Structure 1
Amino acid sequence: MSADAVVVGSGPNGLVAAVTLARAGRKVLLLEAAERFGGGLRSAELTLPGRVHDLGATVMAMAVASPAFRELALKGVEFAHPPVAVAHPLDGRPAVLVHRDARRTAEGLGRDGRAWLASAGAAAEAGFPLVDLLLQPLGPWHVPLKTFAQAARFGLAGALPATTFARRAFRTVEGRALIAGMAAHSMLDLRAPITAGYGLLLGALAHLVGWPLVRGGSQVLADALVAELRSLGGEAVGGHRVRRLAELDAPIVVLDVTPRQLLAMADLPDGYRRGLERYRYGPGVFKLDWALDGPVPWRDPAVAGAGTVHLGGTLEEIALSEAEMAAGRHSPRPYVLLVQPYAADPTRGGHTLWAYCHVPNGSRADMTDAIETQIERYAPGFRDRVLARHAMGPAELEAANPNLVGGDIGGGLASLGQFVRRPVWSPAPWRTPLPGVFLCSSSTPPGPGAHGMGGRQAARLALKHG
């Protein structure tokens, strides 16, 4: 097939780029090294026949909120909401619960309820204009002036380390733990700047759009994007690895790859090449998937209704765990991010579960016992429910998806220095020095998440300048 544009890589950013180009009338060829499309949206039977597990993203708050996906308005994708968006169990106390209703969430936080409404609640009330601004850190901006004022207020709090913000704004163990659990999604030391911002944005999204799952598995979303591309006359080819850009012949090339892959694929100008070589990857994860014979036996029954569960205890415990990881060590009591899809979606063949903890990039440690011990801490008897388990450390994750360098699921360290300098400092970092070649992975702004915004920005630049 002759093509006006070739997209390499079918993660959420690559898929959004391909569909955006096709809707603009371009003849698009999508090439994917794996046999199945989706990258971080893939699903598979990892444990037992008939049990559907997501290899990467499950919770789709970013996708639902993203202007890229709102604009695409895909058909055939149903988002399923759990009764509770997020739960954070604590020893000897009721779990902290995050509901779609911000005021109900605040009521559960007692005297910290007002602080929650003034921070995450206020960001949720600002609505999609604020989300659009935050997911387009370099523009173009088409938002009301009021939104810039709301963003400034958000930024004053969000720029702080999560530990600092939690201790200044919240007084209870529950409120501080909730901020820590949210902020730890950043995979950064919680004493680092902007970690509060990551936590507050995720908290706000829980109220604005919820933390839903794709009914049937995340693969359904990937397949819907591929179907849309093909309906527009595009072609999608799996099992085709592109090793060098010289293999491609099209006026527009969009790459859903990280800097390491781009360095191997092309001869680049010296300055740009040195910039990519300085790009820093973040910590990795150790991920476990389980097939269970029933629901997790949580000590606090309210946790059973949560799609996502943050395990790790208090602010101090989670901060210590993430500091250990950032220092290159393995915490004996790691922060664990756990998702129980069956709370929202009973169509996945039974009680499936996954969880991961953060580990140093490239770690070879087996964290199975540490993760399961943290689950048992809040759900005694959990191991008795396990029918089968599947483990993937950094090496296995990278083998399944080369973009996950050293097990880094975020496409690069999400630090302040790389917040907009992804992968190099540029007013348009999606554009490479090579004519017609654009980068769209999570190594470009706005960074990690199944939001497709890197693909949207790269495709729009390509249509304008490609």
Structure 2
Amino acid sequence: MDAIVIGAGHNGLVAANLLADAGWSVLVLEATPQPGGAVRSGFVTAPGYLSDLFSSFFPLGFASPVLHGLDLDITWRHAPDVLTHLLPDGRAATINRDLDVTAASMEQFAPGDGERWRRVYREWAGLSGNLVASLFAPFPPVRAGLALARQVRVAGALRLGRRLVLPARQLAAELFRGEGAALALTGCALHTDLAPDDAGSGVFGWLLAMLGQEVGWPVPAGGAQRITDALVSRLESRGGRIVYSAPVERVLIARGRAVGVRSAGGDYRATRAVLADVPAPALYLDLVGPRWLPPRMVEDLEHFRWDGGTIKIDWAVDGRIPWRNPAVAGAGTVHLGADMAGLSRYAAHLAAGDLPPDPFLLLGQMTTADPSHSPAGTESVWAYTHLPHRRDWPADEIAAHVERMEAVLEDHAPGFGKLVAGRNVFAPGDLERENPSLVGGALGGGTSAAYQQLFLRPVPGLGRADTPVDRLFLASASAHPGGGVHGGPGANAARAALARNRRLTGDLYRRVIGAAHRTAYETGTLR
């Protein structure tokens, strides 16, 4: 076998597809009985109600040049409105793919915010092509980065650099005057594990809000599972093979080079590469082991930080959600439970390791976005909220927090509980049992904080898929560019494997990467 891919999450499947496209023979070993990792759907609430079990709504996937380049057989659906942020007083700020509709919604909160939103979007639209290409390229993004630099010139680059490190609250205050537009942007930042006042949180809010304006937040017709099914079908049509219920126990290494893997079913040999779609600590500390790693890297891994935990509820609703404000009814995604001050209080509780007494909910109206999710006139809906990162949660604490979440929803949609025909709760431990890569319910493969991004992801180093073990590549969300369903880490790992294997330049590539790793992990005075 030319390559072995550990894990059939979407990044592993992207990597396997790209290697198969290059003519490689590829074997994927998946620890669980099914592919997809956190990109799966199922019937967990009531008959006829389809739920996206983990990830849902895919602006990054829709915009990703990686997934677009694979030409997957997916039909995309859009809710009438992209996103509505529902304030505690009942007012609603809505992003719609029609710029006029969005501007009118933001204008209600402050005169001039409609035009300010237009101006921010025009600026985004001028940059988005090169910016998105830079985001998903291997680090450093030379080609797209240079094109972006030429486009914005020195003055623009300085201001763009500043924007990339601004906290979401500060960025929103600089761009807008009213709370509606500010919350639409800041609420998007909380799709990560970052707080409104964390450095670098603003860029995530800006990215997701502007993608929503540009391309929407679409869903695949038939559920998130369609993405996985399309990747699996494409791979198998090119000769790739997947073995399920085959957890890998060890990466086999000889003379500093990955030569295969060991699982309960035996040893599998790889002549060209091993790619791992697993979290960085699992790869380096469990599958490889400290013996094959620079001591400085092992020390750095002690400081690897997970993103926060998650609790997710799916409901089967026998009817439409009875929103107090009917403006919410057409939104695929709804943010509710907090104004700007409330978002900061919520984040402060998480930072202190406490359960927020007033949880901020991110909610998806799946049938509104794709009617195939449930019978006509009903709704398949989910909501999740963040928790402090812990591996084990007492059942009574989870049950109490579920009540808090449902109380927030009941407050904004009186009578919601009476319409619930079925419910499923995924606590952090449930998420990890369903997908071992979701450690403690962490969805992003590691924090999105600035100190664990780019060349600092997953630890200070190269910011690339290459590892200190020759022909072993990290292909998970723990690698740059991080979490989200876009295929970036898988594609970067495949590109690195192909570069290492080139006949004329592969050995030079190995020596350059090896020298860079030695420099990055040499013993120094700064601990």
Smaller-chain TM-score bracket: over 0.9
Q: Match of 1:102, as an amino acid?
A: L
Kept in 2, the 8 Å contact 1:283–1:408? The answer is: yes
Kept in 2, the 8 Å contact 1:13–1:441? The answer is: yes
Q: 1:103 to 1:122 in 2, by over 3 A?
A: farther
Stretch of structure 1 that moved more, 134-143 or 21-30:
134-143
What's the secondary structure of 2:314's corresponding residue? strand
Deviation at residue 168 of structure 1 after TM alignment: 3.0
Alpha-carbon separation, structure 2, partners of 1:347 and 1:153: 44
Stretch of structure 1 that moved more, 158-167 or 39-48:
158-167
Kept in 1, the 8 Å contact 2:444–2:483? The answer is: yes
What 5-or-longer segments of structure 1 have no aligned partner? none
1:397 pairs with 2:431: yes
Kept in 2, the 8 Å contact 1:58–1:214? The answer is: no
Kept in 2, the 8 Å contact 1:163–1:191? The answer is: yes
User: What is residue 124 of structure 2 aligned with on the other side?
Assistant: 123
- % identity of equivalent residues: 38
1:4 pairs with 2:2: yes
Matches within 5 A, 1:2-41: 3-41=1-39
Stretch of structure 1 that moved more, 244-253 or 147-156:
147-156
Q: Match of 1:252, as an amino acid?
A: A
Matches within 5 A, 1:312-351: 312-350=337-375, 351=379
What's the secondary structure of 2:380's corresponding residue? strand
Deviation at residue 157 of structure 1 after TM alignment: 2.4
1:49 pairs with 2:83: no
Aligned pair partner of 1:198 in 183, 195, 204: 204
Kept in 1, the 8 Å contact 2:310–2:385? The answer is: yes
Alpha-carbon separation, structure 2, partners of 1:135 and 1:14: 16
Deviation at residue 148 of structure 1 after TM alignment: 4.9
Alpha-carbon separation, structure 2, partners of 1:442 and 1:121: 30
Q: 1:230 to 1:189 in 2, by over 3 A?
A: same
Alpha-carbon separation, structure 2, partners of 1:137 and 1:113: 36
1:463 pairs with 2:488: no
What's the secondary structure of 1:254's corresponding residue? strand
Q: Match of 1:415, as an amino acid?
A: A
Q: Match of 1:21, as an amino acid?
A: L
Alpha-carbon separation, structure 2, partners of 1:355 and 1:91: 17
Kept in 2, the 8 Å contact 1:121–1:207? The answer is: no
Kept in 1, the 8 Å contact 2:463–2:479? The answer is: no
Aligned pair partner of 1:431 in 451, 454, 466: 466
Matches within 5 A, 1:406-445: 406-420=440-454, 421-445=456-480
User: What is residue 255 of structure 1 aligned with on the other side?
Assistant: 276
1:100 pairs with 2:94: no
What's the secondary structure of 2:450's corresponding residue? coil
Aligned pair partner of 2:389 in 332, 357, 361: 361
Alpha-carbon separation, structure 1, partners of 2:301 and 2:214: 36
Alpha-carbon separation, structure 2, partners of 1:53 and 1:378: 22
Aligned pair partner of 1:59 in 51, 57, 60: 57
Kept in 2, the 8 Å contact 1:285–1:394? The answer is: yes
Q: Match of 1:89, as an amino acid?
A: L
Deviation at residue 135 of structure 1 after TM alignment: 3.0
Alpha-carbon separation, structure 2, partners of 1:436 and 1:137: 17
Deviation at residue 180 of structure 1 after TM alignment: 2.1
CA offset digits 1:100-136 (Å, max 9, x no partner): 1334312221122233233345213423222112333
What's the secondary structure of 1:223's corresponding residue? helix
Kept in 2, the 8 Å contact 1:216–1:345? The answer is: yes
Aligned pair partner of 1:304 in 329, 332, 341: 329
Alpha-carbon separation, structure 1, partners of 2:277 and 2:430: 20
CA offset digits 1:429-455 (Å, max 9, x no partner): 311111211001111111110010000
Q: 1:377 to 1:154 in 2, by over 3 A?
A: farther
1:289 pairs with 2:314: yes
CA offset digits 1:397-419 (Å, max 9, x no partner): 11111111111101101101001
Kept in 1, the 8 Å contact 2:367–2:374? The answer is: no
Deviation at residue 312 of structure 1 after TM alignment: 2.3
Q: Match of 2:275, as an amino acid?
A: V
Alpha-carbon separation, structure 2, partners of 1:317 and 1:113: 24
Question: Greater Rg, structure 1 or structure 2?
Answer: 2
Matches within 5 A, 1:123-202: 123-136=124-137, 138-143=139-144, 144=147, 145-149=149-153, 153-202=159-208
What's the secondary structure of 1:244's corresponding residue? strand
Aligned pair partner of 1:273 in 294, 298, 302: 298
Alpha-carbon separation, structure 2, partners of 1:232 and 1:242: 24
User: What is residue 264 of structure 1 aligned with on the other side?
Assistant: 286
TM (norm. structure 2) is 0.84
Q: 1:113 to 1:422 in 2, by over 3 A?
A: same
What's the secondary structure of 1:441's corresponding residue? coil
Kept in 1, the 8 Å contact 2:139–2:464? The answer is: no
Q: Match of 1:112, as an amino acid?
A: D
Q: 1:137 to 1:112 in 2, by over 3 A?
A: farther
Deviation at residue 15 of structure 1 after TM alignment: 1.1
Kept in 2, the 8 Å contact 1:62–1:449? The answer is: yes
Alpha-carbon separation, structure 1, partners of 2:181 and 2:373: 33
Alpha-carbon separation, structure 2, partners of 1:256 and 1:358: 24
RMSD after superposition: 1.7
CA offset digits 1:4-40 (Å, max 9, x no partner): 0011111121111010111011111111111111001
Q: Match of 2:382, as an amino acid?
A: W
User: What is residue 225 of structure 2 aligned with on the other side?
Assistant: 219
What's the secondary structure of 1:109's corresponding residue? helix
Deviation at residue 166 of structure 1 after TM alignment: 2.2
Q: 1:375 to 1:74 in 2, by over 3 A?
A: same
What's the secondary structure of 2:424's corresponding residue? strand
Alpha-carbon separation, structure 2, partners of 1:294 and 1:147: 50
TM (norm. structure 1) is 0.95
